[in-house]
Structure 1
Amino acid sequence: MIQVYGVKLEQEPDPLLKRKLLEALPFQKQEKISRFIHRADALRCMTADILSRYMICRTLAIKNSEIRINCNRFGKPLLSGDTGYHFNQSHSGQWVVGILADSPCGIDAEEIREADLGIAEHCFAKQEFRDLQAVPVELRGEYFFDLWTLKESYVKASGFGLSVPLASFAIRKHSTGITLQTEHEFRDCHFKQYHIDPAYKLSVCAGVSKFPEQLELIGQEQLYIQFMNYL
C-alpha cells in the first residue's frame, strides 16, 4: 500500500488556525518553524509536517496526539512501534508532497531550473553525467531534476541519508522504466515519477512497486480542516 499526496500552497492560513496547527506539532518542530526568516519557508515546513501527520492519522485511525516519531541514527524520522508503515515528505516552491507506505519510502519534489553541469559532474555518477550530456541543451534542466529527485528519493528511502554519496549509485531512465545501479545494501526498490506541475519534478522510491497511478491532490485549506478532525 502506497499513498502519495500533493498540496499546492495558495496563501497564509488564518492566524488562529495557524496557531492551532503549530500547537499540534512537537515543541522542537514549533521552535524550528519559528526560526525561519521567510514566512514562505515556515509555511512549507509546517504544511509538510501536517500532511505527514494527516496521512498517518487517517491510515492508522489514530489521533495526532498518539503519533510517536523517532529518528534513526542517520536522522530519518520513523514511526515508533510496530505499525508497519513508513513516511516521508518534501517541499519546493509552491508544492508540499508526502508519501506513506508499508515499506521504506522516499519522496522528492524540486522546481525546475537551469541544469548546473558543475553540480551534476560532482554529484552524479559518471553514467548519469554522460546521460545528461546526451540530452539536448533545451531539455537538460528537466532531465537534471528528473535525476536529482530520483536520487534524493532513493537516499531518503534507504534511511542512510547523507552517508550515501550521490555519486556512489546510478539511476537511468529508459523507455521501459527506471533502473538503479548500486552496491549499497538498499537495492530492492522501485521508482515512479508523477506529473504535478509543468514547472516541477516529483519522484518517489519504495520497497514495493504497487504505486498509485496518480498522486492524490488535496487543497491547502482542505488539508488543514481535515487534519483538525484528528486533534
Structure 2
Amino acid sequence: MVKAWIADVTSLLEKECYERYYRKVPDFRKKKADVLRLDQMKAQSVGVWALWQKIQTEYHLPENAAFNFSHSGNYVMCAACMDGENIQVGCDIEKTGELKMKLARRYFCREEYDTIAAAETDDEKTDLFFRYWVLKESFMKATGRGMALPVNSFCIRMGEPPDLIRQPAEFAQKYYYREYRIEGLAYKMAVCSTDKDIDTELHTELTL
C-alpha cells in the first residue's frame, strides 16, 4: 500500500524551531537547505525531510522504502510505499492560484486543455488546471524523470480516480492515481504509483 502525509511547516519559519529540526536532518539535506535563499524554502526543505523521518519512525519503514516529496507554500507532502518492492511513487502538492490557460495550451495534451476550456466558470477552470498540474507532476516524479519528461508526452482523463490514457512507451507499466483535498485548504494534492493500492486517506497526524 502507498500512503500520503502532509504537514504545515509554518512553525519552522521561527528560527529556534527551524534549528531544532535542522540539527536532526542528514548533512546532505543541511547543505541543500543552506543554499536556498528564502526562509520559506529552507523550512520546506528541512520540514519535508523531518516529516519523512517521523514517518519512518512511526511506521518502522526500511531505509530503502520507495518515497517521494513535494512542497508548496506552507505545506510539505510525502508519499511512501508501506510494503512491497520495485514500486514507483510520485506525489505533488500545489497551492492554487491564478489560472494559466496559455501554459495549459502550450504544455498540456489537447484533451486536457479542452477539458479545462469546456468548464463553465473560471473557478471550475482553475480547479481543473491545478488538478491536472499535480496529477501530471506526480506521474513525472513517479517515473524518476521529473521535468525531463515532456509534459505533453502523456495524457490524463479525469475520473474517480483519474486515469492515465496515454503514456510514453518507456513507461509501459500501469500507473494509478489518487487525489486528495482538505476542506478550506487551497491546495491540490495527488499521488501516482505503480501500486494499485493507494490509501484514500490523506494523513495529517504527524505535525512539525
Give the TM-score range, shorter chain: 0.7 to 0.9
Determine whether 1:193 maps to 2:179: yes
Determine whether 1:104 maps to 2:88: yes
Say how many residue pairs are matched. 200
Determine whether 1:170 maps to 2:155: yes
> Are the equivalent residues in 2 in contact too, given 1:114–1:140 (CA < 8 A)?
no
User: Which TM-score applies when normalising by structure 2?
Assistant: 0.86
> Are the equivalent residues in 2 in contact too, given 1:115–1:140 (CA < 8 A)?
yes
Which 4+ runs in 1 deviate beyond 4 A?
Answer: 13-17
Paired residue for 1:72?
none
Change over 3 Å in CA distance of 1:155–1:130 after alignment to 2: same
SS in 2 for 1:132: helix
**What is the distance in 1 between the residues matched to 2:169 and 2:128?**
24
**What is the distance in 2 between the residues matched to 1:60 and 1:28?**
22
SS in 2 for 1:54: helix
Determine whether 1:207 maps to 2:194: yes
RMSD: 2.1
How does 1:57-136 map onto structure 2 within 5 Å? Answer: 57-60=57-60, 67=63, 79=64, 85-101=65-81, 102=84, 103-136=87-120
**What is the distance in 1 between the residues matched to 2:80 and 2:156?**
23
Q: Deviations over 1:51-79 (max 9, x none)?
A: 122223433467xxxx5xxxxxxxxxxx3
Displacement after TM superposition at 1:124 (Å): 0.5
Change over 3 Å in CA distance of 1:61–1:150 after alignment to 2: closer
**What is the distance in 1 between the residues matched to 2:61 and 2:112?**
42
Determine whether 1:184 maps to 2:164: no
| Runs (5+) with no aligned partner, structure 1 | 68-78, 80-84, 222-231
Paired residue for 1:220?
207
Give % identity.
23
Displacement after TM superposition at 1:15 (Å): 4.5
User: Which TM-score applies when normalising by structure 1?
Assistant: 0.78
| Runs (5+) with no aligned partner, structure 2 | none
Change over 3 Å in CA distance of 1:13–1:126 after alignment to 2: closer
**What is the distance in 2 between the residues matched to 1:134 and 1:56?**
43
> Are the equivalent residues in 2 in contact too, given 1:56–1:100 (CA < 8 A)?
no
